[in-house]
Homo-oligomer: A and B are copies of this chain.
Amino acid sequence: MAQLTDLGSIQSLLFWDQNTMMPPHGAAARADHSSTLELITHERLTDPEVGRLLDALEPWAAGEDPDSDDVRLLAAVRRDHEKAVRVPGALAAEMSHADALGQQAWQEARAAADFSRFRDALARHIDLRHRYVACFEASEHPYDLLLDDFEPGLTTAELRPLFATLRDRLVPLVGAAGDRSRPRNEGVFAGPFEVEAQRRAIVDVLEVVGFDEDAWRLDPAPHPFAQSLATADVRITTRYDLHDFGVAHYSALHEFGHGLYEAGIATALARTPLAQPVSLGLHESQSRLWENIVGRSRPFCAWVLPRLREHLGKALGDVDADRLYRAVNSVQPSLIRVDADETTYNLHIVLRFELELALVEGALRVGDVPAAWNAGMSRLLGVEVPDDAQGVLQDVHWGAGLFGYFPTYTLGNLIAAQLWSRLVADLPDVDERIAAGDFAPLRGWLREQIHRHGRKFPPRELLRRVTGEDLRTEPFLEYLRTKLADAAVLAA
């Protein structure tokens, strides 16, 4: 298991390097290197000896504390082993091949803004997912098995009403608050700002927030991401836009949140399959918490503004903390998910969830996806999609065969708000701390409640341990309503 964990970390290095450092012509060889690691990992994980060892340990585990690291480790290994052995090698290889081809077809289709070039690849992905689902014992809904790869234990039956509520509440909220006519962040970060000045400002902020230069790196990347190779080797990235410092600033805070989760996993779990974030939803809750709940809060705006001014100088103009706070919380319905604000973002996800479900259920034909997409954008966000590139083809996920992944982005928002409610009860002076630039209590709480556990407790159990609740929409909706009113985006 230590070796398997090492192989996972090495795979992370390959990914990080490919997206930050690798010369472009290195891509073909990199695909080989990555496949080889995946193949060796799969061989070792599905080794029948692993199954025998797990069986042999069952009687021992039955006599141990069910909450001990070792008993939980066994459960995690059993889950990984059993999921891996269920899928025949030939199908796994076919899926992996289709994922690579699908990405290529998606890229070509997007460049041509023509969905028809992607249709066959998408149909093949859907077919392969049905064959994948058929490898497992039947679940209530076939989509459950896709969700489970990213959010273990989450069901379609649980998710559907949550997303329906979000849709029903957010559509009128966006209608009341949204304003497409204003520029992003109302122009407060329009600069122009030199990349090097932006980088210095970000590092200066992150070093107070919790970035440790002996154990972290910050690099530019066109699609920002975070990877950790160990708790003491955390690598985050951000993207620079000369005319919107907000892009780099909030990307960096977002990826910092991911990085802090990985940096905070207990060293006792190192080199075990428990030494990783428990799900994409929980992972995203950490990034959203730092990007939005902290980073777009009144006290953070007040604290950060003088620091930004040191590096960005006159180009920040006469913005004051109140204006900054209002600007970075504006609501602007738009076409592109990754550019969306905190409020409208979730409607982009609701649309993708509805379409994925309909595709998996067979209620939507692949050829009808663009029309359904465009109708959904109009219905949910009131925007008209000019072409497929800015519509159904905007994200890589479906090209790469990732179905069941999108919902975790919005789960991140829901979970972050649930955790924050609990955190404020435990740390009633958190706003004053943030305003004073003292982030240690906040980091400490997150580490104690979430980070240190890694993958020890399944997501549902972890959320219950911390908040006493299951997934809910109300804390997030209440958080949004309160902030939008406070920021005068909504009438009070």
Residue in B closest to A37 when the chains form the complex, CB atoms:
B10
Q: Is A28's beta carbon under 8 Å from chain B?
A: yes
Residues on the B chain within 8 Å of A233, using CB:
22-23, 25-26, 29-30
Residues on the B chain within 8 Å of A29, using CB:
9, 229-230, 232-233, 270
Looking at the assembled complex, report how far the CB atom of A210 sits from the nearest CB atom of chain B, in whole angstroms: 14
Chain A residues engaging chain B, CB cutoff 8 angstroms: 2-3, 6-7, 9-10, 13-14, 17, 21-26, 28-30, 32-33, 36-37, 39-40, 212-217, 229-230, 232-234, 270-271
A25-B233, A28-B230 given; name 5 further pairs at CB < 8 Å.
A2-B36, A3-B36, A7-B36, A29-B229, A29-B270
Q: Known contacts being A32-B271, A33-B6, is A21 close to B21, with CB within 8 Å?
A: yes
A17 touching B13, Cβ below 8 Å: yes
Q: Known contacts being A10-B14, A39-B3, is A24 close to B214, with CB within 8 Å?
A: yes
Bound CA–CA A271/B17 (angstroms): 20
Residues on the B chain within 8 Å of A230, using CB:
26, 28-30
Q: Known contacts being A13-B17, A33-B9, A39-B3, is A23 close to B271, with CB within 8 Å?
A: no
Residues on the B chain within 8 Å of A22, using CB:
229, 233
Bound CA–CA A480/B320 (angstroms): 70
Looking at the assembled complex, report how far the CB atom of A177 sits from the nearest CB atom of chain B, in whole angstroms: 42
B229 touching A25, Cβ below 8 Å: no
A32 touching B232, Cβ below 8 Å: no
5 A-B residue pairings within 8 Å (CB atoms): A3-B36, A10-B37, A23-B217, A33-B229, A40-B40
Looking at the assembled complex, report how far the CB atom of A228 sits from the nearest CB atom of chain B, in whole angstroms: 9
Bound CA–CA A3/B42 (angstroms): 14
Q: Known contacts being A13-B17, A26-B215, is A6 close to B36, with CB within 8 Å?
A: yes
Looking at the assembled complex, report how far the CB atom of A269 sits from the nearest CB atom of chain B, in whole angstroms: 13
A25 touching B271, Cβ below 8 Å: no
A232 touching B23, Cβ below 8 Å: yes
Residues on the B chain within 8 Å of A23, using CB:
213-217, 232-234
From A9, A10, A40, A270, residue with most partner B Cβ within 10 Å: A10
Q: Known contacts being A10-B10, A14-B10, A23-B213, is A232 close to B28, with CB within 8 Å?
A: yes
Residue in B closest to A6 when the chains form the complex, CB atoms:
B36
Q: Closest 4 interchain pairs by CB?
A: A26-B233, A29-B230, A25-B232, A6-B36
Residues on the B chain within 8 Å of A25, using CB:
212, 214-215, 232-233
B214 touching A40, Cβ below 8 Å: no
Looking at the assembled complex, report how far the CB atom of A316 sits from the nearest CB atom of chain B, in whole angstroms: 27
Residue in B closest to A270 when the chains form the complex, CB atoms:
B29
Q: Known contacts being A217-B21, A233-B23, is A32 close to B14, with CB within 8 Å?
A: no
Residues on the B chain within 8 Å of A232, using CB:
23, 25-26, 28-29
A3 touching B40, Cβ below 8 Å: yes
Bound CA–CA A10/B40 (angstroms): 13
Looking at the assembled complex, report how far the CB atom of A236 sits from the nearest CB atom of chain B, in whole angstroms: 11
Residue in B closest to A213 when the chains form the complex, CB atoms:
B23
Looking at the assembled complex, report how far the CB atom of A278 sits from the nearest CB atom of chain B, in whole angstroms: 20
Residues on the B chain within 8 Å of A7, using CB:
36
A229 touching B26, Cβ below 8 Å: yes
Residue in B closest to A233 when the chains form the complex, CB atoms:
B26
Residues on the B chain within 8 Å of A10, using CB:
10, 14, 33, 36-37
From A39, A216, A230, residue with most partner B Cβ within 10 Å: A230
Bound CA–CA A231/B32 (angstroms): 13
Residues on the B chain within 8 Å of A30, using CB:
229-230, 233
Looking at the assembled complex, report how far the CB atom of A64 sits from the nearest CB atom of chain B, in whole angstroms: 26
Residues on the B chain within 8 Å of A214, using CB:
23-25
Question: Looking at the complex, which one of B17, B26, B32 makes contact with A2 (CB distance below 8 Å)?
Answer: B32
Looking at the assembled complex, report how far the CB atom of A170 sits from the nearest CB atom of chain B, in whole angstroms: 40
Bound CA–CA A32/B6 (angstroms): 7
Residues on the B chain within 8 Å of A13, using CB:
13-14, 17, 33
Bound CA–CA A445/B456 (angstroms): 59
Bound CA–CA A215/B40 (angstroms): 27
Looking at the assembled complex, report how far the CB atom of A70 sits from the nearest CB atom of chain B, in whole angstroms: 20
Residue in B closest to A22 when the chains form the complex, CB atoms:
B233
Residue in B closest to A217 when the chains form the complex, CB atoms:
B23
Residues on the B chain within 8 Å of A33, using CB:
6, 9-10, 13, 229
Looking at the assembled complex, report how far the CB atom of A212 sits from the nearest CB atom of chain B, in whole angstroms: 8
From A22, A25, A26, residue with most partner B Cβ within 10 Å: A26
Bound CA–CA A39/B10 (angstroms): 14
